[in-house]
Structure 1
Amino acid sequence: MAWDPEQYALFDVWRRRPAHDLVAALPSIEPKTVVDLGCGGGQLARLLAERWPDADVLGVDNSPAMLTWAEGTASRVRWMQADLRDWRPHWPVDLLISNAALHWLDDHQRLFPELLQTLAPGGVLAVQMPRNFEAPSHRLLYETAGEGPWAAKLKEALRTKPVHAPRDYYDWLSPRAARVDIWETEYLQVLNGDVPVLQWTRGTTLVPVMETLQGEELDAFLAAYRAKLEAAYPQRPDGNTLFPFKRLFIVARV
C-alpha cells in the first residue's frame, strides 16, 4: 500500500505511546540483535538503538516512502525494504519487536509461531496491534464501503477482522514459549481539529479505500463516511473529540 508518512505522523504522540508502553513491558534483556518489523518512519527502531547502544538494530518495512522518512533521520539503525508476509530473519534474534504492523498480515496462526522460531535462546517477541475494529471508526467505514456504488470495488480491499482474540495468540505461542504475557489497553485519545477521527483513519484504515477509489467517487465516499463520524464522535464543549482506541500487547519469551 502507498503509505503517507506525513499523514501518519499527524497523531504521532498518540501513535508513539503504545510503542513506549510495549518497550516498558519487556523483560530484563540485553539484546545483541534487534529487529523492528514494520518499522515505518523508524521512531521505535531509533529508540531501541539508543537504549541498547551495542546492539545491532535493523528496521524492516515494505513501504519505500516510510523508509525514506526513516533514513532522513541520522541514526546507526540499518534499514531494509522487504515484504513482511515472507521475510524472516535468517539469524537468531534476541528481540523481535513490532508496533502496529502485523495486523496488516494474514494467517496469524502460522505467522506468530514462525516469528517465535527466529528467536535466539532467551529471546523475546514483543508485538502491539490495534484491536479497535469493532469501534464506530471502523464499523462505520465498513458500513459505508458496503452500501454505496463502490461496494463491489471495496469488497476485497478491506479486512474487517485482522486481529484475533487474545486467547488465540496464547494458544499459538504458549506451546513454544517459556512465558507469554498478553493484555489489552484502551487509550482514551483526546484529539482536536476538524473531524479528527477521519484524519486518523486517513493515515491507516482508509489507505486501501483511497488506493481503490478515485476522483468524485472517492470524494462521495469520504463525505458519507465523514457525516457518520461526526455523529459518532461529536466535538466536546471544550472543542476536543474523544477517540477510545483498544490495542493488544503480546510479549513472549523462549
Structure 2
Amino acid sequence: MATDSQRVAQAFERHYAQYDTDAVVQRHVAARLDEAIGRFCPGLSVRRALEIGIGTGFLTRLIAQRYPEADWWFNDLSPAAFDWIPADLSRVQTLPGDAEHLPYPDGLDLIAAASALQWFDNLGAFFSKAFRVMNPGGLLAVASFAAGHFRELSALQPTPLRYPEAHALADWAEHAGFRVLLCEGWTETLLFPTMRALLHHLRCTGVNGRSTAAIRTPAQLRRFEELYREQSRLPADGHLPLSYCPVILLAFKPEHTAPANFVTAPPPDFC
C-alpha cells in the first residue's frame, strides 16, 4: 500500500509538541546511529551532508555537532520541523517535501536518516539515488524498522503490517553499489497501562495505523483491548506491550578500496 505523505505530515504536525516526550525509541535510535558513526567512521571528512526527516532534531543535533563545518541540507515533510533549527547552524539549507521523490544535492559526503525510511515505498530506488549523488568514500547512515515491528498490532489485522527483514537494508545497499560496514537490529518493548494510553502514544509519534482506524466508541476500544490481551496472552490487569524493531545501517560508497578512516565491522547482527 502506497504511503500518503500528506497524511503522514499532518499526523506529525498535530502532535509535534508531544513528539519529543513520547518518541523514546526514536530518540534511542538516533543516539545509537550517531554512536555508530563515531565508532566506525572516526576520521570521516564531511563537507556536504543531507539529513532526511529531521523531525524534532534527535539525530540532527548530534551529527551537526559532530560535523560543524559541513554544509547541511535538512529535509522534512512538515514545515514545522524547520522552526527549531538554531541560529548557530548557519550553513543550512532546507529541503521541504517527500524525500522519496525529491532530487538530492550532488557531491554529498554523508546522507543520514533516523526513523524515516519506513515511510518510503521503494527503498531500492532510494539506495540507488543516494549512491548516485554521493562522493566516493561518502557514508550512508540510516535507521528504519524491520520485521516484527508493532507485531502485537499486526496480529490483529486481516492484512499484517509489512516491514522488511533487517538484512534487506544491507541487500538493497549492496545492490546499489555500497559496501556495508554495519547492519544491526534489536527490539525495544514499551509497556502501557491501558489501550487508551497505547493509542495516545501512537498518535503522539505520528502513527495513524490501519489497525486502529475502526476504533470510534468506548465499546470498540474495550473490545480491541480484550483482543490485544488475548493474542498476547496477558492478564486483564497487566500492562500492554508494544514492540519496536529498529535496524541501523552504515554503508560507504567505495573507491578502489575501503577508505582508511573507516573501521571494519564484525559480521552483521540482525534482529
TM-score interval, normalised by the smaller of the two chains? 0.7 to 0.9
Q: Distance in 2 between matches of 1:172 and 1:236?
A: 43
What is residue 164 of structure 1 aligned with on the other side? Answer: 164
1:52 correspondence with 2:67: yes
User: Which of the numbers 131, 135, 138 marks the counterpart of 1:123?
Assistant: 138
179 and 85 in structure 1: CA distance in 2 versus 1, 3 angstrom threshold: closer
RMSD (Å), alpha carbons: 3.4
Q: Distance in 2 between matches of 1:233 and 1:59?
A: 44
38 and 221 in structure 1: CA distance in 2 versus 1, 3 angstrom threshold: farther
User: Which of the numbers 3, 25, 32 marks the counterpart of 1:21?
Assistant: 32
Q: What percent of counterpart residues are identical?
A: 21
**Runs of 4+ with >3 A deviation:** 65-68, 191-196, 203-206, 216-237, 239-244
SS state at 2:142 partner: strand
SS state at 1:207 partner: coil
1:184 correspondence with 2:173: no
**Aligned pairs (5 A) from 1:1-254:** 1=7, 2=10, 3=12, 4-26=15-37, 27-28=41-42, 29-68=44-83, 70-71=84-85, 74-76=87-89, 77-131=92-146, 132-133=148-149, 135-140=151-156, 142-143=157-158, 160-161=161-162, 163-175=163-175, 176-189=177-190, 191=191, 194-195=194-195, 196-204=197-205, 206-207=207-208, 217=216, 224-229=223-228, 232=232, 242-254=241-253
Equivalent pairs counted in the alignment come to 232
- Which structure's residues are more often helix, by fraction? 1
Q: CA deviation at 1:139?
A: 3.1
SS state at 1:183 partner: strand
Q: CA deviation at 1:246?
A: 1.2
Compute the TM-score of the two structures, normalised by the length of structure 2: 0.71
What is residue 257 of structure 2 aligned with on the other side? Answer: none
Extract unaligned runs of 5+ from structure 2.
Answer: 1-6, 254-271
What is residue 152 of structure 1 aligned with on the other side? Answer: none
Letter in 2 for 1:135: R
Extract unaligned runs of 5+ from structure 1.
Answer: 147-158
Letter in 2 for 1:118: V
241 and 250 in structure 1: CA distance in 2 versus 1, 3 angstrom threshold: same
Q: Distance in 2 between matches of 1:137 and 1:108?
A: 23
134 and 187 in structure 1: CA distance in 2 versus 1, 3 angstrom threshold: closer
- Judge conservation of contact 1:233–1:241 (CA < 8 Å) in 2: no
Letter in 1 for 2:136: P
223 and 118 in structure 1: CA distance in 2 versus 1, 3 angstrom threshold: farther
Q: Distance in 1 between matches of 2:205 and 2:109?
A: 29
Q: CA deviation at 1:88?
A: 3.0
Compute the TM-score of the two structures, normalised by the length of structure 1: 0.75
Instruction: After superposing the two structures, state which structure 1 stretch, 99-108 or 44-53, moved more.
Output: 44-53
229 and 5 in structure 1: CA distance in 2 versus 1, 3 angstrom threshold: farther
